[in-house]
Amino acid sequence: MTKYVTLEVVKEPENFSNVRFRKDDYLAAKKMGEIRNVPYGTARENIRNSAGMYRIKPEETAVQEHVIKGLKDPEEMTASELMAEMTAHGKPPRKQMQRSVAVDFVKDLRAKAESMIVPDKGSEDDDE
């Protein structure tokens, strides 16, 4: 799969004697603007041939934020979520059960799991 990039003209140098391109070439390139949808290999070659007058324009990517959600309250869970949590605790339902019983069962499992976790010796736990 070929990656396509956009070439843009670099910022105008303060002194053209320090760069390898002429001022009239720079003004012509600036007037033409950016060059879009150039294959990456061709773009690298064009940059080399332009003596640094062009550069690859960085892609604008959206920043993705990941939100970590806590556990749902068992009353708000669907039947499949209740079953998944019971299975995760190693207690899959072996028979049909009412929703209220399943909710109480999950609450009980969470309470037991929470009581099994004890703080490390020498560290202070802010929860207690």
User: Rg of the Cα trace of the chain?
Assistant: 31
Nearest partner of 75 among 98, 108, 109, 102, judged by Cα: 102
- Which DSSP string do the residues of 62-123 spell out, in sequence order? PPPPPPPP-PPPGGG--HHHHHHHHHHTT----S---HHHHHHHHHHHHHHHHHH--PPTT-
Kindly report, residue by residue over 46-60, the tens digit of the pLDDT.
889 888 899 998 887
Task: Please report the pLDDT score of residue 91 as a whole number.
Answer: 83
pTM of the model: 0.44
β partners of residue 4: 39
Question: What pLDDT band is residue 127 in, cutting at 50, 70 and 90?
Answer: low
Question: What pLDDT band is residue 124 in, cutting at 50, 70 and 90?
Answer: low
